[in-house]
Amino acid sequence: MNQKNIAILGAGSWGTAVAIHLAKVGHRVLLWGHDPQHVALMTEKKANPRYLPDIDFPETLEPSADFDRCIEEAHYVIIAVPSHAFAEIINKIKKTPQGLAWLTKGIDPQSHQLLSDLVSQTFGSTFPKAIISGPSFAKEVAHFLPTAVTLASNDSEYQKSIRELLHHDNLRVYLTDDLIGVQICGAIKNVLAIGCGISDGLGYGANAKAALITRGLAEMERLGLALGARAETFLGLAGVGDLVLTCTDDQSRNRRFGLLLGQNISINDAEQQIGQVVEGKYNASQVCFLAKQHHVEMPICEQINALLQGKISPKQVVQNLMSRPPKEE
């Protein structure tokens, strides 16, 4: 195996899981965290007690609070912070890497842009980018359970080199060049997972959940096509794969957040109880902004956004959706 130095920027559950995977397969990984106390704890415990307790770090995984050193020493740089911190992280990079890969799912809250557009603005439109997305709960990847993901890129050489890093043993990596589609899927499935959580929290049944997933997928595809994505992406791992995973399994933080809202817990209390990033809470308004800008109808996302803005109750979300005029599928 050709050992590489890899910097993972962001020491939450997903960055840590991918760092563990890459170190286990033999690479040297620098895991950067922005909180020096958290980095010191990870260094002492040789684990990440805050986000992935009970999973020991392999020998070649080193936590670090030194951002510039991580970039300097890395052959490959992978960003793993939440979408609200993505712009800040790319603006901090002083030495331009050979390309940028990221694990983040979401839309930039300041500019309403896809993260690939932020990277293009900073490093140029032909700069190699790679997005890792798909049904992949951090804990399962860290435990080496079978997982398959999509890797979208604008540069086939860079894409293959990232696949070579990741594709081992129980992690399969499928390639696509549909950066727009993969990012739209990753942002919207979180909003829909909140919706499915709300529905289950209210005590509605399996019929309601299946309807939300199916009609939600139609919304996702409508917006994606309007932005230039390809239809087949929505039936792939980043689309229906991640949508089903996140809407149906209680490992999903977005789904659990929705469950709490459906049980009448306030938005703030629900977010505090989850205690980790709930991307859909922030991304719902970005998705609705893009839908309006591109004249795309997205009633489910709009209702969930209205609830997250404190304008309607969980029950009203369902009433409003059910009372819409009949239409063709």
Ligand X SMILES: NC(=O)C1=CN([C@@H]2O[C@H](COP(=O)(O)OP(=O)(O)OC[C@H]3O[C@@H](n4cnc5c(N)ncnc54)[C@H](OP(=O)(O)O)[C@@H]3O)[C@@H](O)[C@H]2O)C=CC1
Binding-site entries for NAD(+): 10-15, 138, 253
Catalytic residue among 46, 189, 292, 315: 189
Q: Of ligand X, ligand 13P, none, which one does residue 176 interact with (CB within 5 to 8 Å by kind)?
A: none
311: annotated active-site residue: no
Q: Of ligand X, ligand 13P, none, which one does residue 154 interact with (CB within 5 to 8 Å by kind)?
A: none
- Point out the annotated binding site for NADPH: 13-14, 34, 51, 105, 138, 253, 277, 279
DSSP one-letter code for 107: B
Q: Which is nearer to ligand 13P, 118 or 138 (CB)?
A: 138
Q: Based on C-alpha coordinates, what's the Rg of the chain?
A: 19
Contacting residue, 136, 159, 199, 283, with ligand 13P by CB under 6 A: 136
| Chain position whose Cβ is nearest to ligand X | 12
Query: Could you give the strand order of the β-sheet that contains 171-176, starting from the edge strand earlier in sequence?
Result: 61-64, 28-32, 5-9, 76-79, 100-102, 129-133, 147-153, 171-176
Using CB under 6 A as the binding rule, whether residue 224 contacts ligand X is answered as no
Q: What string marks each residue from 307 to 326 as x (binds ligand 13P by CB under 6 A) or -?
A: --------------------
Are 83 and 110 a contacting pair, CB within 8 Å?
no
292-297 long-range contacts (CB < 8 A, ≥24 apart) are 293/112, 294/223, 294/226, 294/227, 295/226, 296/219, 296/222, 296/223, 296/226, 297/219, 297/222
Q: Which is nearer to ligand X, 107 or 202 (CB)?
A: 107
Q: Which is nearer to ligand X, 202 or 281 (CB)?
A: 281
Residues of span 90-109 touching ligand 13P by CB under 6 A: 105
Residues of span 255-294 touching ligand 13P by CB under 6 A: 279
Are 162 and 36 a contacting pair, CB within 8 Å?
no
Residues of span 233-252 touching ligand 13P by CB under 6 A: 242, 245-246, 252
Smallest distance from the beta carbon of 199 to ligand 13P, in angstroms?
Answer: 15
Using CB under 6 A as the binding rule, whether residue 257 contacts ligand X is answered as no
Catalytic residues: 189
